[in-house]
Every structure is written in C-alpha cells, then in structure tokens.
Amino acid sequence: MRILQQFPIKSVLVTGANRGIGLELVKYFVKQKIKHKKKPVKIISCSRSLNTELEQLLDFVSYVELDVTNRNSVNKAVKDVSEIVGDAGLNLLINNAAVLYRGRGVLGCTDQEMGETFNVNVLGPHTVTNNFYPLLKLAAMNNSHIPISCARAAVINISSELGSIQRTLNSYTTAYRVSKAALNMLTKCQAAEFIQDDVLSLSIHPGWVRTGLGGPQAPLSVQDMKVLQQFLPRSVLITGANRGLGLEFVKYFVRHNQQPGIQPTTIISCSRTMSADLEHLLEDVHHINVDVSNEGQVKDAASKVSKIVGKDGLSLLINNAAIMRHGKGIAGCSVREMKETLDTNLIGVHAMTQNFHPLLKQSAETQAHLPISCSRAAVCNLSAELGSIKGTNRNNLYTAYKISKAGLNMLTKCTAVDLIKDNIICFSVHPGWAQTSLGGPQAPLSAEAAVEDMIKIMEACTKKQNGAFLRKGMNSIMF
Ligand SMILES: NC(=O)c1ccc[n+]([C@@H]2O[C@H](COP(=O)([O-])OP(=O)(O)OC[C@H]3O[C@@H](n4cnc5c(N)ncnc54)[C@H](OP(=O)(O)O)[C@@H]3O)[C@@H](O)[C@H]2O)c1
C-alpha cells in the first residue's frame, strides 16, 4: 500500500467499506484528508449497508449504497458517484468487497458456494469496473499532466496470495482460491486493455489480516497493516525532549495519535529539565527525568520505560539530546568543554543505546511480522553535517561538537553492525540547519519542518540504510 502514499489522490472509491480492510482503507484516506487540508481527497465509501463505524466517518466521507452483485445497485451508485466527483472523474477505484467460505475442499464446495463466491469476488469487480470506467477515463484525460499512476486513474483489485496457482499446495477454501485466481486474470486483461486510456489496473495481496474474512488466527491486525503503510511505531522514546527538535518530535507523535482510527504510539519524553511546552503535553506523553551523561539515571530510565511498554518493548529510540559549545579551533577548545561535549553527545548516546537494547530487542521479537524498520525496532541518532570528516576544511568553530558528531557516526556504524543480528537498525540523521537554541534564529528551517523531513527518513529506513548517515530526501552524507 506504500504506492498509495506517494500520490495526492483526488478521489477514491472503496467497495465493501463498512468493515475489515475496506474500512481501514477509508480511515487511511481520512487521515490523508486531514493532513492535506488544502488538497482534500474525495472519499466515497460503498457498502451494502451503513454501520456505526462508517457512520462515525461521515464528516469526511461520502456514503453510497452498493451491492456489487446487483446490476441496479451498481447503476444507481454510478449516478450518485458522478454527482460527487463531477467533471473531474474518479481517480481510484478499489474493488475490495469479497466473500470467503471457509474450510471446503473441491468435493465439499457446493455449486451454490462456488456461484456466490464468483458473483461477489469476480463478477462484482468486473461489473463495478466496467460501469465506473467512463469516470476513470475522464480522470485520466483530465490529469494528463500526471504520470500514469493511482493519482491519475487506476483500478486496484484486492486479491489474495491464495489465488496464486503456483503456490497452491492444498484445496482448502477452493471457491475463494479459484475466484482470486480468476480475479488476477481479470486484472491482467483489464491492465492490457485500459492502458490505452492511461488507466492502470493492478492486484494487491494485503497479507493475512484479522478481519471477518481473515479470521481470528491471522498474524496481522488491521492496525498492523497500517504499520506497513505508514510510520507507526508502537512506542517511541526521545531524549532532550523539553525543547528544540526533541520537543518537536514529541509534538509530531502527539498530533499523530490524535488522528481517527489509529493505534496510538506510546510516547516517552526524556529530559533533564522540564519546560512549560513539554508540561502542556504530559496528558498524552510519559515523562522521565534523565541526564544522558549520567549512567545511573540512564539505567533507572530503562527500568521505568520497561514498565511503561511492557512485553511489547520499545520500537524506536531517538537519541536527540546534545550540546554545542562555542570553543574556536583546537587552541580555543578547553579540555573541560571537550569532555562535557563527548559525555553528552557520544557517551550519552552509547549509554542510552546499551541500556535500552533489551527493550528494542523485545520489540523486534514481538513485532516479528513487520519488515526490519523503525516500526519494528530502531535507533535513530541525531548527528550533524558538521561531523563529516571529509567535509571539514576549516576549523574556526565548534571543535568539540564536530568531533563528538564524527565519533557518533562511528558509534552509529558499530551499533548498526552489532544490533542487526537482533533485527534492530541504527542510523544517523542530519536534521538540516534548524531554528532552535542550538541552530540559532537565522537558520533557514523551522524545527517543525526539520522534524517532518527526519520523520520521512525514518519512514523509509530499512535494513539497507543500517549504519547510514542521512539527510533530507534519503541522501547520504560523506563520513
Ligand atoms: N538545530 C540544528 O540546526 C541542528 C543541526 C544539526 C544537528 N542538530 C542536532 O539535533 C539535535 C537536537 O538539537 P536542537 O537544535 O534541538 O538543540 P537544542 O534546542 O539546544 O536542544 C538540545 C536538547 O538536548 C538536551 N540536552 C543537552 N544535554 C543533555 C543531557 N546531558 N541530558 C539530557 N538532555 C540534554 C537539552 O536539554 P536542557 O534543556 O536540559 O539543556 C535540550 O533538550 C542535537 O543532537 C543536535 O546536535 C541540530
């Protein structure tokens, strides 16, 4: 579903939207609508009946009654949707509605079951797509400036791995498997034909998800699906959270938790002093007093956090706290300044990572169904471009700070190499030059913008970025 994130889709229709994956897709688009207020997406949720969960979203979503097996209902829905989208057409049609009769092999599968399954899972998407095609074609024409994509015009058929002929080793859920194999062929035929009008068609396997259809034993919850699509660590800890970028990280996660229908992230702020700004957030955020240069306090913090996060462990550790003194050159940088800087910016980060390693490991284990990422288990170290050895040609400022960040980059690499065996990644980020007390008021970036750029990096980080030193846009910085 990552594909959906990259494009500002103007209108989307989801069938079978009152529960399970359909409802979750609708919630995802509601979230996008709230985030991109200036370019709101028109969300059309279709189902045979309206239920309370969908009803709660009606401030953001249009509802159109649709039984995909009933031709009259489809015709009426096309009229209703035409009125909603107008001349702009429909950008994205998601054929999600489906049925599954459980546990029947070939001989146990009645004609009626086979017929009903085909009606909903194959004929349904066929009829719905054909009837909505003029609206999709209109969107493709109207958006000729956009590359062929889900943002221009597309059909997504929610299929299933169970429809893979190659991978089929038993006959369990025969009718469903046969219907999804047929749906995959329908998708292929649609794709071959629709491309001439610049309309895409593709199938997606959503994973095995605990819904009415997926059953209670499925390994993924619908929230886990969101974790796959979006950046949603179960828990996050931020050091130096009372001001500057640390505070802005806390605010980001608080805003994130306020969106409807999401599984909230447990937010743990750590700082050695409290600020009024952080205090305002304490209803939604845990707080632990910790000076990262004090090993005893770091150890204490780890045992307190362990009680907060329980068996889930800690998903993401953001080592943000740092100091920057103004000693100029080697001669102007006192030994005391050097010690203090290394104590916080380098040894502090090491102490935090070492003491929180067991909790990170726990998260990597309990979230084993997730790919290696910041949602599963990760350490993000806030470094600085000033720590690039290759990029240093002058040394008239911040000697200790530069040295501490160069050391931090090596610490990041060593941590990355060691912890990957536990499925934990570690990387350094440069936030850009941001307006904080460290960055100064003349910095070109607001703290909020810098944090948004870093969140995008965290969203995209996988095993491939383990040990990397990154800046905005996932660009690597020279060590
Ligand atoms: N802003 C930029 O342009 C920029 C550029 C490159 C890199 N960075 C990096 O981004 C991170 C955040 O910087 P910022 O701009 O937000 O700086 P900031 O506004 O000066 O905030 C620094 C934070 O670190 C905390 N801190 C310092 N020493 C600590 C210690 N021993 N224990 C616990 N907390 C401690 C401070 O807490 P107190 O209030 O208790 O002092 C404060 O919360 C740093 O790692 C910095 O090197 C910033």
| Atom 11 (ligand 1) nearest CA | 320
Ligand 1: lining residues by beta carbon, under 6 Å: 239-240, 242-246, 271-273, 291-293, 320-323, 344, 348, 382, 384, 430-431, 433-434, 436-439, 443
* pLDDT score of 260: 53
Indicate the domain borders of the chain.
2-220, 231-476
Residue type, 190: Q
The Cβ of residue 278 has, within 10 Å, a number of other Cβ atoms equal to 20
- Which residue among 243, 270, 277, 326 is best mutated to probe the pocket of ligand 1, counting the most ligand atoms within 8 A of its Cβ? 243
Distance separating alpha carbons of residues 115 and 118, to the nearest angstrom? 5
Atom of ligand 1 nearest to the CA of 437: 19
For residue 351 the two structure tokens come to 């102490």
* pLDDT score of 222: 63
* pLDDT score of 38: 66
Which of 329, 343, 254, 241 minimizes the C-alpha distance to 290?
A: 241
| Atom 32 (ligand 1) nearest CA | 291
Which of 110, 107, 99, 116 minimizes the C-alpha distance to 15?
A: 99
Which of 338, 325, 342 minimizes the C-alpha distance to 405?
A: 342
373 — phi, psi (to 5°)?
Answer: -170, 180
For residue 55 the two structure tokens come to 């009803």
> What's the chain's length in residues?
479
Distance separating alpha carbons of residues 17 and 24, to the nearest angstrom? 8
Spacing, Cα 333 to ligand 1 middle (Å): 19
- Which residue among 250, 269, 272 is best mutated to probe the pocket of ligand 1, counting the most ligand atoms within 8 A of its Cβ? 272
End-to-end CA distance of the chain: 34
Atom of ligand 1 nearest to the CA of 292: 32
Spacing, Cα 293 to ligand 1 middle (Å): 13
Distance separating alpha carbons of residues 117 and 101, to the nearest angstrom? 8
pTM, rounded to two decimals? 0.65
CA 91 to chain centre: 22
- Which residue among 238, 245, 477 is best mutated to probe the pocket of ligand 1, counting the most ligand atoms within 8 A of its Cβ? 245
Q: What share of the chain is helix, strand, coil (3-state, %, to 5)?
A: 45, 15, 40
pLDDT tens string, the chain, 479 residues long: the values are: 444 444 578 999 999 999 988 998 999 889 888 877 767 889 999 999 999 999 999 999 999 999 999 999 999 999 999 999 999 999 999 999 999 887 678 998 899 999 999 999 999 999 999 999 999 999 999 998 887 888 899 999 999 888 888 777 778 889 999 999 999 999 999 999 999 999 999 988 877 767 777 677 766 666 655 544 556 799 999 999 999 999 999 999 998 887 655 678 999 999 999 999 999 999 999 999 999 999 999 999 999 999 999 999 999 999 999 999 988 889 999 999 999 999 999 999 999 999 999 999 999 999 887 889 999 999 999 999 999 998 888 877 899 999 999 999 999 999 999 999 999 999 999 999 999 999 999 999 999 999 999 999 998 999 999 999 999 989 999 89
Q: Are 15 and 66 in contact (CB under 8 A)?
A: yes
* pLDDT score of 219: 65
Atom of ligand 1 nearest to the CA of 434: 3
Architecture of the structural domain at 231-476: 3-Layer(aba) Sandwich (3.40)
69 — phi, psi (to 5°)?
Answer: -95, 0
3-class SS letters over 323-342 = CCCCCCCCCCCCHHHHHHHH
Spacing, Cα 258 to ligand 1 middle (Å): 26
Residue type, 471: R
Q: Are 201 and 212 in contact (CB under 8 A)?
A: no
Which residues, at least 6 apart from 60, have a Cβ–Cβ distance to it below 8 Å? 30, 33, 34, 43
Architecture of the structural domain at 2-220: 3-Layer(aba) Sandwich (3.40)
For residue 102 the two structure tokens come to 């459980």
Segment (H or E) for 4: helix 2-5
Spacing, Cα 251 to ligand 1 middle (Å): 16
Q: Are 181 and 196 in contact (CB under 8 A)?
A: no
Spacing, Cα 55 to ligand 1 middle (Å): 45
Do 2-220 and 231-476 fold alike per CATH? yes
